[in-house]
Structure 1
Amino acid sequence: MTLENGRYSGRLYRALNPVYARDPLSGRGAERFGGRFNAQGVAALYTALDPVTALREANQVGDLQPTTLVSYRGEVGPVFDTRDAAALAGQGLTPDALADPGWRIAMLDRRPVPTQDFATRLIAAGYAGLLVRSFAAGARGLNMVLWDWPALSVIDDEDRLR
């Protein structure tokens, strides 16, 4: 993995419900339901920098459910790195605000969601995504949330997702 000059190059991973595994580049689930870093109506691809984090992200509630693990290769950018405390503060956020678990309830109550508003500002500024730590229980890895991913490709040399 390399993150240089705001561009990411390397592998990314995503754990999917097998029902959606045939279209692993769509971002439509996040678009339909919204997420921590995308409002409803905004497509997003939630990926991780390692397979274990991807599995933890996809299975945050209850027991491990059937999951299809997909890997991608590509380059994306520019990427906002939320580990940069000064840059994050410049956006009016703190690491605690990123981790706030109340985003889902606020979204359901149709109240402002600061992390979604943050993502909207980044998208308007031309960012393709953001690098952020995982908030899944027990995870220690990093996630890459993408809003623009034209140079990302699924690694499926044996056409298993067919």
Structure 2
Amino acid sequence: MKITRIGPDAVYHRYLTPRWAFLPTSGAGAAGDGGRFNRPGVEALYLSKAPQTALEEYRQGATITPPATLAAYKITLEEVADLSEGFDPDHWDPAWNEWDCQWRKIARIDKNVPASWKLADAVISSGLRGLLFPSLRHIGGTNLVLYPANLTGADSVAVHDPDGRLPKDQSSWS
């Protein structure tokens, strides 16, 4: 497994669903249904290196983009797995060749455990803060999934909101 450090203060992006924009660093949304690299119940925050990649990830193939708020983050992480160049048998166990499996179909239709969840389990149990991986929605884009439960005092995940424009609670959505 290839390991790298991110930062200090590397900039990543995410389009936030307006209803949940008051919790920009929470991984609770992904914990609800699971994601490519997290089982249901496991908090994970998915970010993208570039705004365009974040937009394509948010859209998930939709032809019309739903409402969203773009947020930038300053990230410093001690250790993350780095699959950003894709699977390379010189650096990765053969199981990683299936990182890009059709996880939704496998989990929701076939009712099996996707290979990507098993791979995420290995990253999480090794104490790594997250995983860099290629975007399947934006060719050439890079994503980062981080696991809040694995963050330590040396790590930092901060939304860039110097003017306090993000909502403070859900009162707009009652």
**TM-score (norm. length: structure 2):** 0.82
* SS of 2:65 mapped into structure 1: coil
User: Which residue of structure 2 aligns with residue 142 of structure 1?
Assistant: 142
By how many angstroms is 1:32 displaced? 0.8
Alignment of 1:1-162 (within 5 A): 6-9=4-7, 10-62=10-62, 63-82=64-83, 83=85, 85=88, 86-88=90-92, 90=93, 92-94=95-97, 97-100=98-101, 102-108=102-108, 109-136=110-137, 138-148=138-148, 149=151, 151-162=156-167
Would you say the 8 A contact 2:100–2:116 is kept in 1? Answer: no
Would you say the 8 A contact 1:31–1:43 is kept in 2? Answer: yes
What is the letter of the counterpart of residue 92 of structure 1? A
* SS of 1:78 mapped into structure 2: strand
Report the structure number with the largest CA radius of gyration: 2
What is the letter of the counterpart of residue 67 of structure 1? A
Would you say the 8 A contact 1:31–1:39 is kept in 2? Answer: yes
What is the letter of the counterpart of residue 160 of structure 1? R
- Inter-partner Cα distance in structure 1 for 2:116 and 2:50: 23
Q: Percent identity?
A: 33
**TM-score (norm. length: structure 1):** 0.88
Q: What do the CA deviations read for 1:92-126 (whole angstroms, capped 9, x no partner)?
A: 221xx2222x2101111430110010000111011
* SS of 2:31 mapped into structure 1: helix
- Inter-partner Cα distance in structure 2 for 1:14 and 1:45: 9
Would you say the 8 A contact 1:78–1:129 is kept in 2? Answer: yes
* SS of 1:87 mapped into structure 2: coil
Would you say the 8 A contact 1:16–1:68 is kept in 2? Answer: yes
* SS of 1:130 mapped into structure 2: strand
- Inter-partner Cα distance in structure 2 for 1:41 and 1:60: 21
Would you say the 8 A contact 2:74–2:157 is kept in 1? Answer: yes
Q: Which runs of 4+ in 1 moved over 3 A?
A: none
